Amino acid sequence: MSLFWRIFALNAVVLGTATALLLWAPVTVSVPVLLTEAIILVGGLAVMLVANAALLRLGLSPLARLTKLMTTVDLLRPGQRLPASGGGEVAEVIRTFNAMLERLEQERATSSARALLAQEAERRRIAQELHDEVGQSMTAVLLGLKRAADDAPSPLRAELHEAQEITRESLDEVRRLVRRLRPGVLDDLGLVSALTSLTEDFATHTGLHVTRRFDTDLPALSPEAELVLYRVAQESLTDVARHADAQRVSVALRLADESVVLTVTDDGSGIRTPREGAGIRGMRERALLIGGSLEISPASRTGTRVQLTAPHARSSPDHA
């Protein structure tokens, strides 16, 4: 039944019931109308309006739920659907909207995957150039300064040693940037070693106390899944250093059913605003890349918990 005929039928039921009551009920209307008769008529009208409103709300409630979903749907949180039971125009609109959401989620996941893979390729290229060109050039400069300092007179030797230290610190910074752009330890030694190196470097540069808890029976993951887990941990620690005002950070990696769960928890000021910035949305896009899910919630006492659940039994989607 179409929406028009459903609404027409609802109103017909209400008006027919009211007409039947007027025909068969022993009620008369005087001229002028008595107070008791007016009360009865007004009461009957109120009952009729309430019944009509209730029936219309019942018939149009699927449209209200659809409108609410339209205003709150987020393609980074897939799976939001409305049941489209029954027939009629409303059910067809809901089914069409669900199909549109499915198509948009697939297109968003495909485009995000391409963008992220291109971003990682560019990071790999920049890291390689920094390592091969800038790093080697600075190493050559450092060796030249050492030879010059060995042969220089005493007053100039101190200045050359100072230039050596500045160059060495700059070289260390370049190497740190290379590790952030493309963690070579992730390719060579795996995810646990990469996260260990990441947290140690984070603790050294921020002075925060970092606790690590990694399960020993973790399954083998695809390179895409390992890279996503590493990047989410990296972004979470960066957010802690910038915004959390924390003293302690915990990084955990554990096996749960058919998934590997990464949890980064801090004891900082917690989530201050429900608005998600580019960093969080980027983490959600990375989670979708491997079919995972990201949850950000307040910690048990204070601070924030970032949890990424990455299924390891499923193969990564085809991004060709």
Single-letter residue type at 99 = A
HSE-up (13 A, CA, CB side) for residue 42: 7
Rounded percentage of the chain residues whose pLDDT exceeds 70: 85
User: pLDDT (tens digit, 9 = 90+) per residue, 245-297?
Assistant: 888 899 999 988 888 999 999 988 877 655 667 778 888 888 888 888 888 88
HSE-up (13 A, CA, CB side) for residue 203: 15
Looking at residue 315, its pLDDT comes to 43
Query: Whole-angstrom Cα distance, residue 253 to residue 309?
Result: 10
Rounded percentage of the chain residues whose pLDDT exceeds 90: 8
Looking at residue 82, its pLDDT comes to 76
Q: Check: CB of residue 192 under 8 Å from CB of residue 230.
A: no
282's CB contacts (< 8 A; 6+ apart) are 235
- Work out the pLDDT band at 214, boundaries 50, 70, 90: very high
CA quadruple 71, 76, 79, 84: dihedral, nearest 10: 20
- Statement: residue 147 has pLDDT above 50: yes
Among 21-30, 127-136, 163-172, 224-233, which is the least confidently predicted range? 21-30
- Statement: residue 208 has pLDDT above 60: yes
Domains in the chain: boundaries: 3-72+82-106, 185-320
Looking at residue 22, its pLDDT comes to 66
Query: Whole-angstrom Cα distance, residue 241 to residue 202?
Result: 9
84's CB contacts (< 8 A; 6+ apart) are 91, 92, 94, 95, 98
- Work out the pLDDT band at 149, boundaries 50, 70, 90: confident
Query: Whole-angstrom Cα distance, residue 231 to residue 165?
Result: 32
How far, in whole angstroms, is CA 100 from its chain's centroid? Answer: 21
Architecture of the domain spanning 185-320: 2-Layer Sandwich (3.30)
Looking at residue 249, its pLDDT comes to 92
Residue in the block written with tokens 């150039």 = 129
- Work out the pLDDT band at 94, boundaries 50, 70, 90: confident
Q: Check: CB of residue 189 under 8 Å from CB of residue 281.
A: no
- Statement: residue 318 has pLDDT above 60: no
